[in-house]
Structure 1
Amino acid sequence: MKLGVFVVLACLALTASAGWKECENYRILDDAYRSSSLEPEAGEGLDWGWCDKLGGKGSPASPNWLGEGWYRFVPPAGHILMSTPPKPRQCHTGEGAYSTDPLPTKRNETYPIDIYYGCCAKVTGLVTFCGQFWVYRLPELHCDSFVTHRGYCAEHAPLKGVPLN
């Protein structure tokens, strides 16, 4: 009986603290080109941009992209992962990644999210609310010789009442 109680308590302790490590140990995505407010200029082609993948064919890895892991968006990029499909070439990519899933609103709460890019590609990530900001567990995006410009887009749209730092 005591062993059973210990196992239950240990599981509860792990679940309760699941969100704190990523709130202290994350990478920063702050490049202005990730911002949803960055509109493509007239005449710009798709022969520019980066890919959020290490070792992707065609385009080089995005600056600040260090592979799959926990990331926080900060200005001038934005504060959160874009919540609507970006336009082609918006945020300096041919196919920008976004998620329409809701954000957690309780401190240390983590949600799984579906992240879309291109016409029909999807990956699964995580988002944790850290009290004053969100961090995302972002997987690498598939980039090949056909479509090489794919990256995560950010926007300036935090919850009302949440202080930004």
Structure 2
Amino acid sequence: MKMFLCFFVLFILGFDDSSSQGNVNKAIKILTKQVKKLQESNKANFEATNMKIETLKNESQTNVKSLDEKITNQYETKVLKLENLIEQTNLTKMDVNSLFGEITNQTEFLLKAMDYKLGILKVGNAECSQYNILNEADRGISSGDGDNCDSTGLNTSPMWKGASWYRFLPPAGTILSQAAPGEDHCGTWLSGWCNATLPTVPGSTLDIEICFDYSGFQCWIAYDGKVTNCGTYFVYYLDNIRDCTVNLRYCGAN
């Protein structure tokens, strides 16, 4: 456009003096119109540019606001999740502490029991080292009847020493029978068995009931006794049978 105007002016100036003043005026009018159009075009472009700038600014503000709200919402959501996680973690800590305590106790017990088994530690109970032995072959639960009685009076069993601490050893077995063997077993008439659970902690002692099985009655008569866990074996405090007119004997088992 600028080049066109320049050529146009040069063209007008190139007229000789004989040209009429009307042609000059006409050229000036044309130039004026072109300049005005150019100004209007620039103004329109400027206004359009301003509108685009405003639009971009509005869009930018909207996007920034939307992004800010999105970030804020995400932050609040994460904070809420974190608070819930902290609350759950606190509850879990209580459970973990309780569980850890149980596991620790069980682990200590297992390690202690292993030490006893390996002979690293010894149970300090006197009865675990000072006891009598019951190891008669016919004292075992699989044996039939006999005339043996655990008493220092009549029909005394070969290994019986009176009321004392005893340890069962093969071939009689390793423990006092935990089940009713029935009458006429263990080399006697009334077979004695432990009507109680054994202690699980090494060094601990429990009071027990010892029943004698007879004529379908698993606990026809009962004696009090004790049992101590010596780590790898058990020892029993067994009372002397008071009357052996009917033979009673403590029955061994594995």
TM-score interval (norm. to shorter): 0.7 to 0.9
Counterpart of 2:138? 33
Equivalent residue of 1:22, what SS?
A: helix
Who is 2:153 aligned against?
55
What letter corresponds to residue 152 of structure 1 in structure 2?
Y
Q: Among 124, 132, 141, which residue is 2:232 paired with?
A: 132
Aligned mate of 2:125, from 14, 20, 23 = 20
* Partner residue of 1:87 out of 175, 178, 182: 182
Matches within 5 A, 1:65-84: 65-84=160-179
Identity of aligned residues (%): 36
5+ residue gaps, structure 2, are 1-122
Question: Unmatched 5+ residue regions in structure 1?
Answer: 1-17, 41-45, 157-165
CA shift digits 1:118-140 (9 cap, x unpaired) = 44211110000000000000001
Counterpart residue type for residue 95 of structure 1: L
Go from structure 1 to structure 2 and tell me whether the alpha carbon gap of 1:135 and 1:81 turns closer, same or farther (over 3 Å shift).
same
Higher Rg? 2
- Give SS of 1:25's match: coil
Distance 2:124 2:149 in 1: 28
Q: Judge which range, 84-93 or 60-69, deviates more.
A: 84-93
Whether the 8 Å contact between 2:151 and 2:244 is mirrored in structure 1 is no
User: Contact 1:128–1:134 (CA<8 Å) still a contact in 2?
Assistant: yes
Matching residue's letter, 1:49: D
Higher mean C-alpha deviation, range 22-31 or range 86-95: 86-95
**Which whole-Å CA distance do the structure 1 matches of 2:242 and 2:175 have between them?**
21
Moved over 2 A (4+): 142-145
User: CA separation in 2, counterparts of 1:130 and 1:121?
Assistant: 28
Higher relative contact order (CA 8 A, sep 6+): 1
User: Conserved in 2, the CA contact under 8 Å of 1:19 and 1:110?
Assistant: no
Equivalenced residue count is 127
**TM-score of the pair, normalised by structure 2:** 0.48
Deviations along 1:40-76, whole A, 9 cap, x unmatched?
A: 3xxxxx6x421101113xxx20011000000000000
Change in 2 beyond 3 A, CA 1:19/1:55:
farther
